Structure 1
Amino acid sequence: MANSSGFSMTLPILDSKNYDRWRNHMKAIFGFQEVLEIVQKGYQEIGDGATEAQRAMYNEAKKKDCKALFLIYQGVDAANYEKINGVETAKQAWEISEKSYEGADKIKKVKLQNLRREYEVLQMEETDSIADYMTKILTLSNQMRSCGKAMKEKSIVEKVLRTLTCKYDHIVVAIEESKNLEELKIEELQASLQAHELRIKGRSSSRGTDQVLMSRHNKKNSENWNQKTKDKGQNSR
């Protein structure tokens, strides 16, 4: 889909599992298309005695609402389309989607409890890269935020530092001693850890190369020694 400026835009599609991400993406798209206020607040109908200026404003609002409703229709799958089919305004369609997926407070609390339990037991696996593990941490953190949990950056930084594998112990100690964890940004932490990860990989690769060269050297010496032994045996006959 392209707008009047030629900017190509792919709409996210709402299904049964991605409401939080879909909502955030759609809000950004509504803002870009200048229809977010219409979606959130709707517009006022006008009476028969409205002035020309009022009619002009109404027609503009109606046009924006149709545009927003079109975006919503285009951004849902077949099951979700049936929930909003027949609504008259974008505000009504948006509210139906919110009620369908955000649910009651009790549902949010149960979801948050499950996410919190998963977050608390999460540990870095030996097979995880720093980028993989940070993605796991941030995904859970964002899901908890969407359920109303306040997630401070410091608590996420501390969670990462205490759940890394033991090969990162040295860099964790260095970070804790040299950085103010109250001010340390998640992206700064990730950059430091990834730099350390690259050094570890570089050393492992160097050791592997040294071992291969040493093995070849020992094999060659062994072959030379065996050949000399064989030559001596033949000369002694």
Structure 2
Amino acid sequence: MANGVASFQVPMLNTSNYDNWSIKMKALLGAHEVWDIVEKGYVEPQDEATLSQTQKDNLKDSRKRDKKALYLIYQALDDDGFEKISSATTAKDAWEKLQTSHKGAEQVKKVRLQTLRGEFEALHMKESESISDYFSRVLAVSNQMKRNGEKLSDVRIMEKILRSLSPKFEHIVVIIEETKNLEEMTIDQLLGSLQAYEEKHKKKQDSVEQLFKMQVKDKEESMSNERGQHGRGHFQGRDGRGRGRGHARGGFNNNEDRREYPTSGRGRSNRRTRYEKSQTKCYNCQKFGHYAFECRAPKNKVE
């Protein structure tokens, strides 16, 4: 678009972002080289005929730049915002109307500052919050306080941060307070030191958690192995008892063994007994095939 107006994104103003919006708009207007006309304005002569050609050229340029600035301000407003400045004839007038509308009178400004002071003092770092995010929260409130007239030094901001950190930073806070001079530090330097400590603390926590997980895993595997061994031992015990019963009945473990070497009267040992008796001579009747205590013949008196 002509004059480079569309080469920048114009920030939109709403009911709650005037402070930040005004900073962004000042930068945008400055980039288009028209902030000075918004801040200081220009004077419309009562009679242009009395002006020299140089003065006429300067007046023409001022009017052109003023309209450019006014157009940029228009682009940042919704319909309600436009209504507030629709009667403004210059960019300076429009800017002042917006400032009065959003920042209010001096009394309203003081009330707002009191609210911001309370928010600043109540700030505390959350346990799950990163040090970078907490710095951003603190600086957002402190910057609003400054824009509303509070004289807030960097040392006071750093002191607030140090005394409101979460307990995990206690060690580094003690070191900084004892070894560093906050008067010689910047907020960025403090942030860097705390971020470095946060990273070390995080790595240490990760190592501890990893070790704990490994210990839990080892314990679970050990318990699983013990349960497996207990199950196998129970099975072996039952099998062992089975073998014990087999031994008691004849020293064999299965039916095939018992068929080959039965323990009943029909077995091999009984045949062996009958064979041995056939070669045995009775001392009572002098016949073979039985012992004397089995003999049915009349008992002979042994000489």
Place the TM-score, normalised by the shorter chain, in its bin.
Answer: over 0.9
Partner of 2:291: none
Structure 1 stretch 98-107 or stretch 68-77: which is displaced more?
98-107
Q: Map 1:108-147 to 2 at 5 A.
A: 108-147=109-148
User: Offset at 1:115?
Assistant: 1.0
Distance 1:36 1:125 in 2: 41
Contact 1:14 1:22 in 2 (8 A): yes
Structure-2 separation of matches of 1:36 and 1:71: 11
Between the aligned partners of 2:177 and 2:3, the Cα distance in structure 1 is 49
Q: CA deviation at 1:45?
A: 2.2
Q: Which moved more, 1:63-72 or 1:173-182?
A: 173-182
The corresponding residue for 2:245 is none
User: CA contact under 8 A between 1:2 and 1:8: conserved in structure 2?
Assistant: no
**Is 2:42 the counterpart of 1:43?**
yes
Mark the runs of 5 or more structure 1 residues left unpaired by the alignment: none
Higher mean alpha-carbon deviation, 135-144 vs 193-202, is at: 193-202
The residue that corresponds to 2:156 in the other structure is 155
Q: Which amino acid aligns with 2:43?
A: Q
Pairing of 1:63-102 with structure 2 (within 5 A): 63-102=64-103
CA distance in 1, matches of 2:3, 2:130: 39
The CA distance in 2 between the partners of 1:68 and 1:2, in whole Å, is 14
* 1:229 match: 230
Q: What is the Cα deviation at residue 2 of structure 1?
A: 8.5
The one-letter amino acid paired with 2:171 is H
1:87-106 C-alpha deviation (Å, 9 max, x unpaired): 22111111111221222111
Unaligned stretches of 5+ residues in structure 2 = 241-303
Matching residue's letter, 1:105: E
Report the more deviating stretch, 136-145 or 119-128.
119-128
Q: Per the alignment, do residues 94 and 192 of structure 1 end up closer, same or farther by CA in structure 2, a change over 3 Å counting?
A: same
Partner of 2:194: 193
**Matched residue SS, 2:44:** coil
Q: Deviations over 1:9-48 (max 9, x none)?
A: 1111112111111111111111111111111111122421
- Write the distance in 2 (CA, Å) between the matches of 1:147 and 1:170: 35
What TM-score, normalized to structure 2?
A: 0.73
Rounded Cα–Cα distance in structure 1 between residues aligned with 2:156 and 2:99: 29
Asked if 1:19 is matched to 2:2, the reply is no
Deviation at 1:86, TM superposition (A): 3.3
TM-fit CA distance, 1:222: 2.2
Q: Percent identity?
A: 41
Q: 1:137 to 1:82 in 2, by over 3 A?
A: same
Matched positions, count: 236
Q: Does 1:173 align with 2:158?
A: no
Q: What is the distance in 1 between the residues matched to 2:65 and 2:169?
A: 53
- Range that drifts further, 166-175 or 194-203: 194-203
Change (3 A) 1:2 1:193: farther
RMSD: 1.8
AA matched with 1:50: L
User: Residues 154 and 87 from structure 1, CA distance in 2 versus in 1: closer, same or farther, beyond 3 angstroms?
Assistant: same
Read off the aligned partner of 2:123 and give its amino acid letter.
L
Please say if residues 2 and 9 of structure 1, whose CA atoms lie closer than 8 Å, have aligned partners that are also in contact.
no
Paired position in structure 1 for 2:28: 29
Q: CA deviation at 1:231?
A: 3.3
What TM-score comes out, normalization by structure 1 length? 0.93
- Checking the alignment, whether the CA contact within 8 Å between 1:39 and 1:65 is kept in structure 2 is yes
Q: Shift in Å at residue 3 of structure 1?
A: 5.5
Answer with 7-16 or 120-129: which moved more: 7-16
